Structure 1
């Protein structure tokens, strides 16, 4: 028994030494690059954080790859920068910003809306699209919910939103009581909540709702039609999606934005995003991340 004990102890020491050596090598490798841009260019690869929400970013099991509006734009833009290998890191939407800041991945590629609150945490590229909102409801829309304001005015309406998504802020800003806002982990959970009657409507972007309906093929649920986008501070809200980066990665952000500017709106861009339901009508126009970050 003593011999076995000494052998196990020796093995543990050896493993510890190997792990320590690996960590030292990792630190040395990181230290050899002064910026994230320098590292990803040298290695030719980058990690993208995503939340598995079609059509923005999701893993296509049939194709065996990460795809969607954001990852495909990232591939095109990063390819122009000499970065040809993309690794997806699946993360809950509400954990994307903490994951980016902790270094789990280098860019958030999830169609994340630019908001002043998020801008205090991370940097954003210029937007790639602008979209309105929609509700997913039971067939017939039993409570007659056609806007956030109507959800707020109804005495019992329960509104589902995804954790970390901007829809929670829209609900709060339009007067939906916190007690009637159900925060759900992801879009499939939100669909299930509508189907089971746990919420009366699920709030998401118009493309998210349309994509979920086409996949669910459930006659028991539908998109609320017509629908009025929320009015906050006297303005109709349009959400602008973009890529998220760490604030210290200014060199990567500037280079990425320079290539992104030439790409967005080009025939190649429109062809890349067409399979995901995006059209020329969804282009962001001249608005910039800097403008959207202002309180």
Structure 2
């Protein structure tokens, strides 16, 4: 019985490895990478007039395509709640919206090398004074903390403020809904990225603010999503990212969307000496 089990396990692993090889071979044979993506402005968005996909992630993938001699096909738009599922079930070859490299996602997909780090801020109503000097008071059951279920901010919330009352909205919702909930009082505060707050603040000036003088509470690694165990594809994408980083192209692309390097924290080039 034990030998039969071991044989079955070996057969399964061989089949899985073969399937992964086939995935990479399919890309090489087709000469293109079929991308699944979700909208995240300005990382990835659609031009309202032309319908053309644009953004930092688009530009990075375009540069990767030139490095690898592969066409980049943004084939399927999907919601954030089904993005990793679509990759895991083979509907597309990789996720070409940059996503947080979270352990919850890592159970079903792999990630490329990081492209940048995303700082996360605490946002409250303009008249909120409790957290101006310290965020310690957030860790209290009376404080309502809004998060997007299963996303990076939810991980931060439970890690930093485990005693706060979590007010979760589904993954199908937009991040801007978290700010709307703070505005209307459904939540006392939320954790959000800088560009999401900036976009909300332009439309709703003077209603919300950063807590604790605008210092981020942390940052998480942002990367592309890859099929689980597809090591040949990962090596191909990672090598291209290394080249873009080393030659300065990656930094130039991000500079075009974040010239102050405030929204997307750049990676240090390994050969640079400390200042």
Do the two structures share a fold, i.e. TM-score over 0.5? yes
Q: Residue 164 in 1 paired to residue 164 in 2?
A: no
Seen in structure 2, the aligned counterparts of structure 1 residues 57 and 174 have a Cα distance that, compared at 3 Å, is: same
C-alpha distance in 2 between matches for 1:277 and 1:47: 27
Q: Residue 182 in 1 paired to residue 168 in 2?
A: yes
1:253 shift after superposition:
1.0
Residue number in structure 1 paired with 2:9: none
Structure 1: runs of 5 or more not aligned: 1-30, 231-236, 288-295
Residue number in structure 2 paired with 1:102: 89
Larger Rg: 1
Residue number in structure 2 paired with 1:19: none
Residue number in structure 2 paired with 1:18: none
Residue number in structure 2 paired with 1:191: 179
TM-score by length of 2: 0.76
Counterparts of 1:271-286 in structure 2, within 5 Å, are 271-277=252-258, 282-285=265-268
C-alpha distance in 2 between matches for 1:120 and 1:67: 29
C-alpha distance in 2 between matches for 1:156 and 1:83: 53
C-alpha distance in 2 between matches for 1:142 and 1:88: 47
Q: Residue 206 in 1 paired to residue 194 in 2?
A: yes
Seen in structure 2, the aligned counterparts of structure 1 residues 257 and 238 have a Cα distance that, compared at 3 Å, is: same
1:103 shift after superposition:
1.5
TM-score by length of 1: 0.72
Q: Residue 264 in 1 paired to residue 245 in 2?
A: yes
Residue number in structure 1 paired with 2:4: none
Residue number in structure 2 paired with 1:245: 226
1:77 shift after superposition:
0.6
Residue number in structure 1 paired with 2:115: 128
Structure 2: runs of 5 or more not aligned: 1-17, 271-275
RMSD over equivalenced CA pairs, Å: 2.9
Counterparts of 1:1-295 in structure 2, within 5 Å, are 35-141=22-128, 143-144=130-131, 149-153=136-140, 155-177=141-163, 179-184=165-170, 185-214=173-202, 216-230=203-217, 237-264=218-245, 266-277=247-258, 282-285=265-268
Q: Deviations over 1:19-40 (max 9, x none)?
A: xxxxxxxxxxxx9x95333323
1:79 shift after superposition:
2.6
Count of aligned residue pairs for this structure pair: 248
Contact kept? 2:38, 2:78, Cα under 8 Å = yes
Query: Aligned with 2:198: secondary structure?
Result: helix
Q: Deviations over 1:127-170 (max 9, x none)?
A: 000232112332233543677643223x4322222233111111
Residue number in structure 2 paired with 1:24: none
